[in-house]
């Protein structure tokens, strides 16, 4: 089975944070809160649940379909006689 590169990156970051926090859960979650707050202040979307992720993916798919529909509805340029 081929490994998912996104999951591999998540595991790498998790392991790095665990080493930095000496496997202390309180310090680990405090660090995650600090990172999350920094991301939100920078204006980046923070996904907090599987439901939020599903909604985000569904919205992106709706946008992609709408964009594709607009392209299909475009008429080709008329040939000059």
Tell me what pLDDT residue 1 has: 62
Tell me what pLDDT residue 59 has: 92
pTM of the complete model: 0.45
Q: Which is more confidently placed, 69 or 46? A: 46
pLDDT in tens, 34-45: 988 998 888 888
Q: Which is more confidently placed, 28 or 8? A: 8
- Residues with Cβ within 8 Å of 12's Cβ and at least 6 positions away in sequence, in order, are none
pLDDT in tens, 49-74: 889 889 988 999 998 888 877 766 66
């Amino acid at each position: 089975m081929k490994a998912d590169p996104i999951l591999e990156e998540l595991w790498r970051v998790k392991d790095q944070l665990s080493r930095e926090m000496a496997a202390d859960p309180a310090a680990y979650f405090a660090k995650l809160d600090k990172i999350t707050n920094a991301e939100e202040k920078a204006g980046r979307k923070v996904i907090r649940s599987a439901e939020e992720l599903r909604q985000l993916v569904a919205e992106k798919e709706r946008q992609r379909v709408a964009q594709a529909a607009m392209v299909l509805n475009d008429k080709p340029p008329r040939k000059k006689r």
